[in-house]
A and B are shown apart, each in its own frame.
Chain A
């Protein structure tokens, strides 16, 4: 991961990012892609659980909760 790159896990609540890559392999990668996290997808960080994890994201018309360890491997370019 390059300096200045953002991951989903670091996206502030209420903001959006566009997926630029998924840094995972095997079934984790497949699962994230199946949730709609393919490059070019716009994702919105909607809310974080009171415990700080997981976070709810708006992905292609569905709301999906992701744990920090999953959000951390999805590279995004913040849209702001």
Chain B
């Protein structure tokens, strides 16, 4: 079997995740903090149409599955649970590389409605990489049991992306989730995320770097996100982008 994942910055593409016997319309990533119900969402949506294995070269397990909705074939990739995407661990590196370099048609961030605040950090990080993002607000049944009421419309407006309330274990909200995934993946719903604004001095530095990056990078990564990583001195992403650029150059001969 051909490797479906090559580490850090290698030329992974969406096609690497599509089984040979299927023509896929969309490839979708499923991200989220640990224990938020990602695998439950994954199982509910894909049923028995699954393939599990490891990310080649990594000890992280990897699952991808398939479903059909509104005439579209959708491949779902269950990413490892992480609190962050800044490559502090192999799991974070796998999730980050998938979103950055395989560029899924959409990324679903599954969040725990009972501790929303801690989950939003990851949502904001994904949004800095790609606007093709939606929130699956899972465990709403648990939240209701605890007497928590979540202003779903307000949250969606603040973030600038769709928020779909679900209780994946009982299948609640799954149809709306699939609708929303298709809308974003097709580009029919162009989201307008509200970027996090940093201190003035930082925004100045970001702006200057973005202008510079525009001249040297054409790989489609968000310039703002790369600028932030450079300012943070994140050597893993610098290496990953470097590897990726080299690979692209080699392929183009």
User: Which A residues lie at the B interface, using CB under 8 A?
Assistant: 26-27, 30-31, 34-36, 59-62
Contacts and interface: CB of A to CB of B under 8 A. Distances in A.
Contact of A34 (B34, B35, B86, B233): B86
B115 A61 contact: yes
B214 interface: no
Interface string B80-118: 000110101000000000000000000000001011011
Given A61-B112, A62-B33, A27 B86 contact: yes
B252 interface: no
B84 A31 contact: yes
Given A27-B88, A27-B234, A61-B114, 15 more contacts: A27-B86, A30-B86, A30-B88, A31-B86, A31-B88, A34-B86, A34-B88, A36-B83, A36-B121, A60-B115, A60-B118, A61-B117, A61-B118, A62-B35, A62-B118
B-side interface mostly:
loop
Contacts, number: 34
Nearest to B83: A34
- Report the contact-size class of chain B (Cβ under 8 Å from the partner): 10 to 19
A36 B84 CA distance: 10
Contacts of B158: none
Contacts of B115: 60-62
A-side interface mostly:
mixed
B232 interface: yes
Contacts of B234: 27
Contacts of A30: 84, 86, 88, 232
A20 to B, nearest CB: 19
A65 to B, nearest CB: 12
A35 B121 CA distance: 9
Interface centre among A27, A34, A36, A59 (most CB of B within 10 A): A34
Given A27-B234, A60-B118, A34 B112 contact: no
Contact of B118 (A26, A27, A31, A59): A59
A31 B88 CA distance: 7
